Structure 1
Amino acid sequence: MRATLVLGVALLTLLLSGPTVAFVPIGGGSSTHVSITGTALLQKVTETCRAVAEEAGHEFNPTGSSAEELVQACLGPTATGDVSGAKFKSALQEIYTQNGLVDRNFVNSAPPHFNSEAFAEGRGLIIEGLVAIKANIREENFQAARETLGRVLHTLQDFYSHSNWVELGYTEPYINLIRLDLPLENLADFSTATCSDCASGKCPNPILPNILKEKKLTSGYMGISSAAKPKGKCSHGGAGDLTSSAEPRGGISKDERRSDNVDFHNAAVNAATAASLQLLDDLRLAAGDNDFLRMMGIARSSVVCFVIDTTGSMSDDIEAAREAVYKIIDGKKGTQDEPSEYILVPFNDPEFGPMIRTTDPAKMKREISLLRATGGGDTPEMCLSGLQLALTGAPDSSDIYVFTDAVAKDIHLKDTILALISSTKSTVSFFLTGSGRRRRSLRASSFEDYKNLALASGGQAIQVSKSQLPQATDIILDTSTSALVTVLQRARNPGKQETFPFMLDESQKNITIYITGQSITFTLTNPAGVIQNHNEASGKLGSVNTVGNLWRVRLNDDNMKGTWKINIISNQPYTLKVTGQSTITFIYDFVERFGGPHPGYAVLSGHPQAGQPAILMLSVIGRKGPSSVTVGDVSLVTVSGPETVRNSTTTDMGNGDILVTVDAVPEGEFVVSLKGTDKVSGSVFQRQSTTQMSVSKVNIKAVVDSSMQPGKTFNLPFSVMTQGSGGLYSISARNDKNFPMSKPPSLNLITGQYANSSVTITPPADTPSGSDVTVTLEAKSSSGADSNYIVLRFSVVTKITDFVAPVCEVVTVQADDCPHDVSQCKPFQWKLAATISDGNDTGVASVSLRQGGGNLTTSLLSDPIIQANYTASCCSQIVEFIAVDKVGNVGKCYHSIVRSAGPPTLPALLPLWLCLLVSAFVTWF
């Protein structure tokens, strides 16, 4: 345990970020929701990684404290080659972000903070969230699970800061908050006074003596716009709480460490951390170790996602995609570059989908082998509908490959696709073929649309003949890899002669240059001045291949460090992209600051606001963590010429997190460019984001405040405001599941004022519990000159009333052969037989061994009772196995045959059977 805690502290020092602070306001103290959540998450991830490694038979021995080294150790011997910690860090940031948003989105609501004695309501939010998270994990909707987890942990942690739990002398978590089968006991009623007056506002413990003596539970009242509170009640306290000036004055909040409340603040932090660990442990047991780690972003980082047109003319394209998948599966098996997940979305007309996702490469082979080209003719296809499914179903920052030879019938979805690309930061590349009328139709109508979507995502639109397609798919092998980074991407329309410098560093390998366009010539120059022309297929600097409109240059691996130049000559539009593999990278979000009692930074879903400084929260990941790099310039750069660079001011938030402010934002589309120094090698590095962004004068606000239920209409309020010209703005609302929706066609906006409206969504009654639905709202001016969007992800969860965990009953224990002298145990075995049943007839979903070195087998005795048989060496004297029912209730079952060192006593001779019921606490509020 000590090693685990030491590693957890080291990782915490590396990974915890400072943008979202909620246990204290900005600028106060060190114990925040981020630090509490991070401590618990990292400890639980480390424990889980160690357990997985031990079960697989290899050591869990991180070589250092960085995210990369933790992921490398967790993935084990198969994690050969470069391993990026970016997805792990991104998963943590998603949880932290949603945790912090509770303070912005629900500042006036008592239950999310356990303010104003809203104990039942606050617990209801925790229970509802737990049900949704477990259902999401069962459906492999890990992003939805992470977002809900962040919000649930905030509410759970606030209980210990905002109530008098620690003042009552309790040091352990209040298990009743996550156990619906246990009552909330000894609550102070509405008429009971709870606090004494504190004129200074800094009294060590204003809780009334009788409340302390009777162990009555209360919490502070919070008033943002009113000082009213029930007579005699405690206040939350602080400058943002108006009730703290009404008698009894002061407050009992332990959010901030002050000289008068140090002990209580520390006790609240410790209890909140322990409670977070308790909740995470239940989720881990319900999900299983592997899915728990997948939720946390601990997986081989590449995800292969194909969106494939299956109309009649696509036989050759389907075969090329099939061969590409086979190459990836067969060529990367057992390496770090083996994809962690495969996603396939077919589309035709009028059908599209379903989305097929699997971690099993054999299943992916089977699914893609079943694709057949049928129907379609010369008609346009549902390309963007299929792409929408992929963008919402694949993890963020995925590489998605679209195969088609026809125009998009659903081109009206283009704005929605652009919004999803921006929101997910995924890269979309199109492989475009065609013959006869379909080729002419594609060239005339849709190539520019496809090219614009690809460019917006940082991908490419590759136009080839059907016979050339197998050669073009090499780009998929290049990009479906771990630790992929973009060094430079530029586009020119119209084309012109231009020289593009780019910087390569010692950490990079597999550097590849892609140029798309017609009538291209180019010259490549390395830092030593060595030159290679476009017509040298195999030169001193690398190999050059061309197919269709794509040039692909793979650099040699020697002498790459330094500034390179590529001079391109063409009078036609072209794009340039330089990629490589490196664990030095960065993740970022555009954010806005919010005020209130607990200020922080909220991630923007949509374009940053025009006329204001752009603010980014940027996290740098080095080869051995953020301490192994020094950040230099961070700038916003236009991709399409003429090139404009806007420099920034940066504030180091600690632990690799940088707050970036750009006062003058470029006009049009821009990306984030980062330069720094790798301390390991001393070389300067250059990285660029792929997703293009622009500013808008329109702002849309909407909040995820609960889950949806199958068959029930859900109302989503939203608000729209513009700082530009007022007038009629069209409103569009779409979701990726085609659930029925209603919305206003437009809103009449007055400059600087929010207009309120709502959208209704009705998930069908047969929607599987745990599904998620992504809703995209857009507002566009009548001229089309300005627009903005917001993307929200909701869980769809069936109402559940079963909160009874599976029950274990021992039938027999045969341990008489086990010697009293443990040193003589090796030749002997003991056996245990037990029955497992679900107390509420939901049905047992899984039984797994958690402790013990023996063999556990199960069989169905008589529905719904399961027989469990365990056999172990007498040297392994403790067994614990976990039973999980179909809605996520967890039963922990423990048995020990350990004998005392002295003469046998009656307790030592009796079997010890303890069935600890740790319920998933499932009901619905």
Structure 2
Amino acid sequence: MVTQLFLLSFMTQMSVHAFSVISLSSNTHQNITMAAILQKSAEVCSTVASQKGLKFVQPNPLTVVSLTAACLSPASAVSLMSAIVTISLNNAQVDLRHVFDPEYHFDNERFVQAHKLLKDGVSAVKTSLLQKNYHLARQLLGKTLHTLQDFYSHSNWIELGNRSPYQSLIQANLPIDNIADVNTPTCNSCVDNCTDNILQTILTQKKLTSGYFDLISSYKPFGKCSHGGRADRTSSVEPKGGINKDSLSSPHGSLHFVAADVAKAATRDLLQDIREAAGDREFLRLMGILQSSPALCFVIDTAVSMANVITEVTRVISFITDSRRGTMNEPSAYILVTFNDSEFGPLNKTTDPDVFKATVNALSTSGGGYGPEMSLSALWLALAAAPARSTIFLFTSAEAKDVELKSTVLALIETMKFQVNFILTSALSNTRKGLSNPVNQLYEDIALASGGEVIEVTKELLPNATIILSNSSNSVLVTIFQVARNPGIAENSFLVDSTVRNLTFYITANSTNFTIISPSGQSQTSQEANGPLGLILTVRNLYIVQLENSTQAGIWMLIIKSSQFYTLKVTGQSATNFLFDFVTVFQNPHPGYTVINSRPPADGNITLLLSMVGSDLEKPLVVALVEASDFTVHTGSLQDTGDGDYLVTVSTVPKREFYILVLGQTNSSSTSDNIPFQRQSSGLYRTSNITVTAVENGTLAPGALYTLPFTVEMRSTWQNYIITARNSLQYKMTFPSSLTAGGDGIAIGTVNLTAPSNATSGTEVILTIEAALPGGNDSNYVVLSLAVSRGVVPSASLVLSLWLSGAALFVSLLINNQI
């Protein structure tokens, strides 16, 4: 339980650095990418402002917060940071996922192949933008930028005296010239100082070469340069040493900053190429600027049981759409999915609010009755099409018919950090866990996992749900505190800082009495609908407490008298927030981290990449995993990696569902005062003893078979797993329904997927692969975002590496960070 003493003691703690992964003295792919995005976005914002007759003031320093303020879009700081994090993480993970593919790194003199990867990658980004698939475009952009940036560190372009980007790299019609052929020696041996190990003939003739790299074999052609570093086996044979400039400690580390600066300029050039193809507004949407709300998503039951409320539902949705128009909370897309007892879909997605309203207003009820509906199938369709961190609202009068989709829905919610709210228009009189209808327990489980609400309403009370819809999709909404108590615990204490406005409590319970106590000692009970602290609105099972605008800073307390299950969520509007991803840290071939698109492991450390968003003065002091039921705290250690990012390592793993808690301070720029703050993740997370691993290899070619190997592992040999796979576009797909692990504890399977021959390039396909123990005691998943493209083919070496005799060992080493 978070008490005043608990909060105050935590605020005095400082984190301990448990490990060193990324040096702040060297440039990384992440900070090169971030700097280039901020610089190019500032240039685009300046142009847009000039076209509107407005003055753009170049920020100094240039940060996420200062840029969005200068772009007259301060509320989009979170969405810009989210876009940068997505691009940067996809950039970084190329080092791990394509460790055996030299063309992804311009290694082994694979210039022609790497050049094709770049051209195909840029083309894929552009076609994804044409389809308005911004999240997919960000993922593809990150991967493409990695290859581009590696050229300047792994080749001898800088050693040849160049201090500007090689324009041929991103020009589809220009070749890469004067490459050293396989029979041409390029390097001398070196041991301590490798600065001058490239042969003078190579430098004089301006021939391009790059270092050879291999984790396993020491083979390379006679006389060739190695990449270098302790992970590179080729650097131990003549000519020894290496030529990479990845860090200051690299063989050519003296040129590290020069190579990084040119890579940054090349990144800006590639971004400019995308800008010219997409236009300024689409470029800013790609970067999350201007429209800060990801998407407005509605999933609506159109069975005849909704006949008496469908008109009011459409009215509420139209009202919300109009209230967002032209504001900072205008969404980047509008999504609508309908369902009844036998059908779901189609998916309607548009960026035009008038088109969306026309579609909504044309809804009518037909088919079905008062039995279970295909609600989860429709929800799955909306989740698969929505951008990350979107808020979804599902209206229904019936229980779910397709309950088997629960795990798939939870997989997407956890991975993409969606919030799902259920508005239930038909309730019974039984009592269970705060809901009047026990069959709605499934909806509560999903809402709780996502940080959403289950609201039971009548037709007359439906307009009151508008408050939930309005507040939940606000771009500057933050979660300050959240718990799920079972059995009920009376005292709930939390810290509210002075930046918070529109403080709101959401209490879900069948019936309860509560008292709110402010930091000044003022109090208000649940019987006071309009009291000294604010307004209390009751919508059947939900109490909404709206505090006065001038929120008091300090420790607030809410005392609930209830022996039953209840949930409490405290939100407000503030610029101070955080983003996070579960990641795996790796040391080879270069130190970095890759995002985990599954549940984190139950047996070992959990690592998070935490990104602070606010005034650029926020600093986390304590980051913890907090168990939802009793607020047991598992504190992590922090490492500052620069640019507002922190790696957090938690060594004691929760056994039950947990939230992410951040306690920190905002350093004042004008006084010595520091403002403490508390923030919490909206959604619930859980660990698993099962590991599911799959790596997307290339893209889906229309009409062609796409083969995706995957592995399932648990620290138990001869284990049986139930396998389920689904793709968002319902493309033809086959996969094993079960797998049995061998003596090494690893089972290997394959998903075969075929996109139709008329599939459009730039289309995004969300694929989930789930593995569960018989009986449902444990499960895990991997969520992949695949692109349809006519240009990029799967990486042959990746597929082969998973199918050769050493496949199980290879995957196990990757999973356990031993290579």
Amino acid at match of 1:208: L
Question: Partner residue of 2:797?
Answer: none
- Which runs of structure 2 are paired with 1:98-247 in the superposition (5 Å)? 98-198=90-190, 200=191, 202-247=193-238
Instruction: Report the alpha carbon displacement of residue 620 of structure 1 after superposing the two structures with TM.
Output: 1.6
Question: Partner residue of 1:72?
Answer: 69
Match of 1:649 among 606, 630, 637: 637
Question: Partner residue of 1:637?
Answer: 626
Q: Describe the shift of the 1:579–1:800 C-alpha distance in structure 2 as closer, same or farther (beyond 3 A).
A: closer
Q: Describe the shift of the 1:711–1:437 C-alpha distance in structure 2 as closer, same or farther (beyond 3 A).
A: farther
Match of 2:565 among 558, 570, 573: 573
Question: Partner residue of 1:425?
Answer: 417
User: Highest Rg: 1 or 2?
Assistant: 1
Within the alignment, does 1:36 sit opposite 2:32 as a pair?
yes
Q: Distance in 1 between matches of 2:24 and 2:533?
A: 54
Task: Indicate if the aligned counterparts of 1:173 and 1:272 stay in contact, CA closer than 8 A.
Answer: yes
Task: Indicate if the aligned counterparts of 1:25 and 1:256 stay in contact, CA closer than 8 A.
Answer: no
Instruction: Report the alpha carbon displacement of residue 96 of structure 1 after superposing the two structures with TM.
Output: 0.9
Q: Distance in 2 between matches of 1:790 and 1:665?
A: 20
Deviations 1:875-914 (A, max 9, x none): xxxxxxxxxxxxxxxxxxxxxxxxxxxxxxxxxxxxxxxx
Q: Describe the shift of the 1:62–1:310 C-alpha distance in structure 2 as closer, same or farther (beyond 3 A).
A: farther
Q: Describe the shift of the 1:523–1:221 C-alpha distance in structure 2 as closer, same or farther (beyond 3 A).
A: same
Within the alignment, does 1:56 sit opposite 2:49 as a pair?
no
Q: Describe the shift of the 1:43–1:567 C-alpha distance in structure 2 as closer, same or farther (beyond 3 A).
A: same
Instruction: Report the alpha carbon displacement of residue 84 of structure 1 after superposing the two structures with TM.
Output: 4.9
Amino acid at match of 1:757: G
Q: Distance in 1 between matches of 2:566 and 2:58?
A: 45
Task: Indicate if the aligned counterparts of 2:536 and 2:543 stay in contact, CA closer than 8 A.
Answer: yes
Amino acid at match of 1:486: T
Question: Partner residue of 2:310?
Answer: 318
Q: Describe the shift of the 1:595–1:324 C-alpha distance in structure 2 as closer, same or farther (beyond 3 A).
A: same
Question: Partner residue of 2:648?
Answer: 660
Instruction: Report the alpha carbon displacement of residue 27 of structure 1 after superposing the two structures with TM.
Output: 3.3
Q: Describe the shift of the 1:435–1:549 C-alpha distance in structure 2 as closer, same or farther (beyond 3 A).
A: closer
Instruction: Report the alpha carbon displacement of residue 373 of structure 1 after superposing the two structures with TM.
Output: 1.1
Amino acid at match of 1:656: G
- Which runs of structure 2 are paired with 1:493-892 in the superposition (5 Å)? 493-494=486-487, 496=488, 498-622=490-614, 624-625=615-616, 628-639=617-628, 641-680=629-668, 682-724=674-716, 726-750=718-742, 753-799=745-791
Task: Indicate if the aligned counterparts of 2:491 and 2:560 stay in contact, CA closer than 8 A.
Answer: yes
Instruction: Report the alpha carbon displacement of residue 63 of structure 1 after superposing the two structures with TM.
Output: 6.7
Q: Describe the shift of the 1:558–1:194 C-alpha distance in structure 2 as closer, same or farther (beyond 3 A).
A: closer
Q: Distance in 2 between matches of 1:133 and 1:320?
A: 40
Task: Indicate if the aligned counterparts of 1:168 and 1:212 stay in contact, CA closer than 8 A.
Answer: yes
SS of 1:488's equivalent in the other structure is strand
Instruction: Report the alpha carbon displacement of residue 205 of structure 1 after superposing the two structures with TM.
Output: 2.4
Amino acid at match of 1:694: R
Task: Indicate if the aligned counterparts of 1:407 and 1:445 stay in contact, CA closer than 8 A.
Answer: no
- When the two structures are superposed, what TM-score results if normalisation uses the length of structure 2? 0.89
Q: Describe the shift of the 1:654–1:27 C-alpha distance in structure 2 as closer, same or farther (beyond 3 A).
A: closer
SS of 2:272's equivalent in the other structure is helix
SS of 2:344's equivalent in the other structure is coil
Question: Partner residue of 2:811?
Answer: none
Instruction: Report the alpha carbon displacement of residue 245 of structure 1 after superposing the two structures with TM.
Output: 1.6
Within the alignment, does 1:278 sit opposite 2:269 as a pair?
yes
Match of 1:250 among 241, 262, 280: 241
Instruction: Report the alpha carbon displacement of residue 301 of structure 1 after superposing the two structures with TM.
Output: 2.0
Within the alignment, does 1:265 sit opposite 2:261 as a pair?
no
Q: Describe the shift of the 1:751–1:318 C-alpha distance in structure 2 as closer, same or farther (beyond 3 A).
A: farther
Task: Indicate if the aligned counterparts of 1:164 and 1:252 stay in contact, CA closer than 8 A.
Answer: yes
- Which runs of structure 2 are paired with 1:437-448 in the superposition (5 Å)? 446-448=439-441
Task: Indicate if the aligned counterparts of 2:76 and 2:288 stay in contact, CA closer than 8 A.
Answer: no
Q: Distance in 2 between matches of 1:469 and 1:314?
A: 13
Q: Distance in 2 between matches of 1:209 and 1:632?
A: 53
Question: Partner residue of 1:9?
Answer: none
Q: Which runs of 5+ in 1 are unaligned?
A: 1-18, 802-925
Q: Distance in 1 between matches of 2:306 and 2:192?
A: 73
Q: Distance in 1 between matches of 2:428 and 2:594?
A: 51
Q: Distance in 2 between matches of 1:751 and 1:291?
A: 52
More displaced 10-residue stretch of structure 1: 266-275 or 609-618: 266-275
Amino acid at match of 2:64: A
Q: Distance in 2 between matches of 1:677 and 1:435?
A: 44
Within the alignment, does 1:463 sit opposite 2:456 as a pair?
yes
Q: Describe the shift of the 1:316–1:136 C-alpha distance in structure 2 as closer, same or farther (beyond 3 A).
A: farther
Task: Indicate if the aligned counterparts of 1:671 and 1:693 stay in contact, CA closer than 8 A.
Answer: yes
Q: Distance in 1 between matches of 2:254 and 2:664?
A: 42
Task: Indicate if the aligned counterparts of 2:38 and 2:67 stay in contact, CA closer than 8 A.
Answer: no
Q: Describe the shift of the 1:88–1:613 C-alpha distance in structure 2 as closer, same or farther (beyond 3 A).
A: same
SS of 1:308's equivalent in the other structure is strand
Deviations 1:838-870 (A, max 9, x none): xxxxxxxxxxxxxxxxxxxxxxxxxxxxxxxxx
SS of 2:767's equivalent in the other structure is strand
Task: Indicate if the aligned counterparts of 2:397 and 2:424 stay in contact, CA closer than 8 A.
Answer: yes
Instruction: Report the alpha carbon displacement of residue 99 of structure 1 after superposing the two structures with TM.
Output: 0.8
More displaced 10-residue stretch of structure 1: 59-68 or 423-432: 59-68
Q: Distance in 2 between matches of 1:304 and 1:172?
A: 43
Amino acid at match of 1:72: A
Q: Distance in 2 between matches of 1:260 and 1:713?
A: 43
Query: Where in structure 1 do 4 or more consecutive aligned residues deviate above 6 Å?
Result: 435-440, 442-445
More displaced 10-residue stretch of structure 1: 417-426 or 203-212: 203-212
Q: Distance in 1 between matches of 2:658 and 2:625?
A: 6
Task: Indicate if the aligned counterparts of 2:599 and 2:687 stay in contact, CA closer than 8 A.
Answer: yes
Amino acid at match of 1:674: V
- Which runs of structure 2 are paired with 1:360-439 in the superposition (5 Å)? 360-434=352-426
Q: Distance in 2 between matches of 1:390 and 1:157?
A: 35
Q: Distance in 2 between matches of 1:277 and 1:798?
A: 26
Deviations 1:305-363 (A, max 9, x none): 11111112223443233222332233344433344432222223433223223333222
Question: Partner residue of 1:816?
Answer: none
Instruction: Report the alpha carbon displacement of residue 497 of structure 1 after superposing the two structures with TM.
Output: 5.0
Q: Describe the shift of the 1:577–1:263 C-alpha distance in structure 2 as closer, same or farther (beyond 3 A).
A: closer
Deviations 1:742-761 (A, max 9, x none): 11111112475432221011
Task: Indicate if the aligned counterparts of 1:201 and 1:249 stay in contact, CA closer than 8 A.
Answer: no
Task: Indicate if the aligned counterparts of 2:428 and 2:436 stay in contact, CA closer than 8 A.
Answer: no
Q: Distance in 1 between matches of 2:106 and 2:749?
A: 29
Instruction: Report the alpha carbon displacement of residue 282 of structure 1 after superposing the two structures with TM.
Output: 0.7
Task: Indicate if the aligned counterparts of 1:201 and 1:237 stay in contact, CA closer than 8 A.
Answer: no
Task: Indicate if the aligned counterparts of 1:722 and 1:751 stay in contact, CA closer than 8 A.
Answer: no
Instruction: Report the alpha carbon displacement of residue 451 of structure 1 after superposing the two structures with TM.
Output: 0.3
Amino acid at match of 2:36: A
Q: Describe the shift of the 1:506–1:763 C-alpha distance in structure 2 as closer, same or farther (beyond 3 A).
A: same
Q: Distance in 2 between matches of 1:797 and 1:600?
A: 28
Instruction: Report the alpha carbon displacement of residue 443 of structure 1 after superposing the two structures with TM.
Output: 7.0
Instruction: Report the alpha carbon displacement of residue 724 of structure 1 after superposing the two structures with TM.
Output: 4.3
Q: Distance in 2 between matches of 1:790 and 1:87?
A: 24
Match of 2:279 among 288, 309, 334: 288
* Identity over aligned pairs, percent: 43
- When the two structures are superposed, what TM-score results if normalisation uses the length of structure 1? 0.79
Instruction: Report the alpha carbon displacement of residue 243 of structure 1 after superposing the two structures with TM.
Output: 1.1
Q: Distance in 2 between matches of 1:476 and 1:747?
A: 43
Superposition CA RMSD, Å: 2.6
Deviations 1:355-388 (A, max 9, x none): 2233332222212111111111234222112111
SS of 1:83's equivalent in the other structure is helix
**How many residues are aligned here?**
768
Q: Distance in 2 between matches of 1:598 and 1:88?
A: 27
Q: Which runs of 5+ in 2 are unaligned?
A: 1-16, 794-819
